[in-house]
């Protein structure tokens, strides 16, 4: 197997001290592969899971030729090209109650949306354009054979995959599978992710914070982001800045989880033991990502006996944790969970209503508020952008993404906006 260092260093742009954001994300995605393990679940329990096998349609959808709207069903051969056509109405066809006889020349049936086409009918004319009197209906000129008809198998043919393996099951997918009469699906097992925070200054909720201590918020933020992804979260708590305690926690995490995510301890302070412990237990490429916030970050593999887990060592500041999680960990976790195309957060261009100071050479993610005004998208920052100001994330509905080549932004400039709705 190619080592991580070989995979990473073969790229010309690789620089462990200033790795570009886009390259870092791609290198991580290239390194990871979907986990093994399949479960068979009732359809209602499969929401948010990833298909392990393709769902093959056992039936044609629709199962029969049917009407696409309320109107009148008739034979296209009866239509006059340049004059109205008057036909005898011989009955009605309803969805679930097919018309029992064939429609002959000069005849028509009242037909409802979804109703099977009676024998002989190949055309439907919408009810809004006809003139009806007693048991006769007059069709205006200009209609054509085959209009307003949904053919059997038009959506799906029997024996053809309806959903591919690797598809994330959302409400629409559940409905599609149900429409095929399938009540159970094969999905990949849940990804197991262990999390813990490091630092002597951190105290758990329910205790009194003394001078110099702070409550640990990062595990709660990570718990929320991971739960939204549908993974199994294993919370190992707070680990003090002690090498033996850290090693024990890393070994435990690697033995029970597919992925380990830590917050704090990956910078260059004297008490930041996490980086060296990661290096001792596995193969880790530490880099300083060329970004703000979230510059110090680690990614790699750690092992404990015969067990191994992927590792994300995220920064300690609360906003930096969220930014690095969304930009790097989230797409990798989706890939590991088996999602075929993890994708990135949707982006659009918007007019920035405030000026922003920006140095070149790194990507910056500012918390922003995106809104529509006068028919165009506009965005402003949430205010102070310090990486410890978690309030800025609660006010934000987007990231303003300023690329490494970009300098200062003037009010009125267009900027790239990454939408957070659906992520946070």
- Does 176 have pLDDT greater than 90? yes
How many CA atoms are closer than 13 Å to the CA of 157, on its beta-carbon side? 2
Distance CA 257, CA 196 (A): 12
Q: Write out the residue limits of the CATH 3.40.980.10 domain(s) in the chain.
A: 4-37+189-336
Within the chain, which residue ranges are assigned CATH 2.40.340.10?
Answer: 347-419
Closest listed residue to residue 16, CA positions, set 233, 251, 279? 279
Q: What is the pLDDT of residue 1?
A: 44
State the DSSP code for 29: H
Instruction: Name the CATH architecture for the domain at 66-150.
Output: Beta Complex (2.170)
Q: Which CATH fold topology does 38-61+154-188 show?
A: Molybdopterin biosynthesis moea protein, domain 2 (3.90.105)
Closest by Cα among 363, 270, 350, 285 to 323: 363
Higher per-residue pLDDT: 296 or 333 = 333
pLDDT tens readout for residues 264-315: 876 655 446 677 777 788 887 767 889 999 988 889 899 877 789 999 999 9
Per-residue pLDDT at 28 exceeds 60: yes
Contacts of 36 (CB under 8 A, 6+ apart): none
Does residue 46 have a cis bond before it (omega within 30 degrees)? Answer: no
Residues of the chain with CATH 3.90.105.10: 38-61+154-188
The DSSP bridge pattern shows strands 107-111 and 85-93 to be parallel
- How high is the pLDDT of residue 47? 95
Output the pLDDT for position 248: 92
* Per-residue pLDDT tens digits for 337-374: 999 887 778 899 999 999 999 999 999 999 999 999 99
4-37+189-336 CATH = 3.40.980.10
Alpha-carbon distance 370 to 272, whole Å? 37
Helix and strand totals (H; E) in the chain:
9, 26
pLDDT tens for each residue of 206-257? 888 888 888 888 999 999 999 999 999 999 999 888 888 989 999 999 999 9
What average pLDDT does the chain have?
Answer: 90
Give the CA angle between residues 339, 340, 341 to the nearest 5°. Answer: 95
Q: pTM score, two decimals?
A: 0.85
Q: How far is CA 53 from CA 42, 61, 156, 285, 337, in A?
A: 15, 20, 18, 34, 13
Transcribe 137-195 into DSSP letters: EEEPTT--TTTTEEPTTSSB-TTSEEE-TT-B--HHHHHHHHHTT--EEEEEPPPEEEE
Asked if residues 298 and 284 have their Cβ atoms less than 8 Å apart, the reply is yes
**pLDDT (tens digit per residue) in 87-133:** 999 999 999 998 999 999 999 999 999 999 999 999 999 999 999 99
> What span, in angstroms and rounded, lies between the C-alpha atoms of 119 and 113?
17
Task: State residue 11's pLDDT score.
Answer: 56
Q: Are 110 and 89 in contact (CB under 8 A)?
A: yes
| DSSP letter for each residue of 227-272 | HHTTPEEEEEEEE-S-HHHHHHHHHHHHHH-SEEEEES--SS-TT-
Q: At the fourth CATH level, which superfamily is domain 347-419?
A: MoeA, C-terminal, domain IV (2.40.340.10)
Domain limits, CATH 2.170.190.11, in the chain: 66-150
pLDDT at 270: 46
pLDDT for position 282: 86
């Amino acid at each position: 197997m190619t080592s991580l260092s070989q995979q990473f260093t073969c790229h010309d742009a690789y620089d462990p001290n200033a790795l570009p954001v886009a390259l870092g994300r791609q290198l991580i995605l290239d390194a990871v592969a979907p986990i093994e393990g399949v479960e068979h679940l009732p359809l209602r329990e499969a929401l948010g899971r990833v298909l392990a096998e393709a769902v093959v349609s056992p039936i044609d959808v629709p199962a029969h030729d049917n009407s696409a709207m309320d109107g009148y069903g008739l034979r296209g051969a009866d239509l006059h090209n340049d004059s109205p056509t008057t036909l005898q109405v011989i009955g009605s066809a309803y969805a679930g109650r097919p018309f029992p006889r064939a429609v002959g020349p000069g005849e028509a049936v009242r037909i409802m949306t979804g109703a099977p086409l009676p024998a002989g009918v190949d055309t439907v004319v919408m009810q809004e354009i006809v003139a009806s009197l007693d048991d006769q209906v007059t069709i205006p000129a200009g209609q054509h054979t085959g209009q307003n008809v949904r053919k059997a198998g038009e959506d799906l043919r029997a024996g053809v995959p309806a959903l591919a393996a690797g598809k994330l099951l959302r409400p629409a997918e559940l409905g599609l599978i149900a429409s095929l009469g399938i009540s159970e699906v094969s999905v990949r097992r849940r990804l197991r992710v262990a999390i813990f925070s490091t630092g002597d200054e951190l105290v758990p909720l329910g205790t009194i914070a003394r001078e110099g201590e702070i409550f640990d918020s990062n595990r709660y933020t990570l718990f929320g982001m991971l739960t939204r992804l549908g993974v199994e979260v294993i919370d190992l708590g707070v680990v003090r800045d002690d090498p033996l305690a850290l090693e024990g926690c890393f070994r435990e995490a690697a033995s029970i989880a597919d992925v380990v995510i830590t917050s704090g301890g990956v910078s260059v302070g004297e008490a930041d033991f996490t980086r060296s412990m990661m290096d001792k237990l596995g193969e880790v490429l530490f880099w300083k990502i060329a970004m703000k916030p979230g510059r110090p970050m680690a990614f790699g593999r750690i092992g404990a006996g015969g067990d191994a887990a992927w590792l994300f060592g995220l920064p300690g500041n609360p906003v930096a944790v969220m930014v690095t999680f969304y930009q790097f960990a989230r797409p990798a976790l989706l890939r590991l969970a088996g999602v075929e195309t993890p994708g990135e957060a949707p982006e659009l261009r918007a007019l920035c209503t405030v000026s922003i100071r920006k140095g070149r050479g790194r990507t910056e993610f500012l918390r922003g508020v995106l809104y529509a005004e006068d028919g165009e998208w506009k965005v402003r920052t949430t205010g102070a952008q310090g990486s410890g100001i978690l309030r800025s994330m609660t006010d934000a509905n987007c990231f303003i993404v300023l690329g490494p080549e970009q300098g200062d932004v003037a009010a009125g400039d267009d900027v790239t906006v990454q939408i957070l709705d659906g992520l946070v």
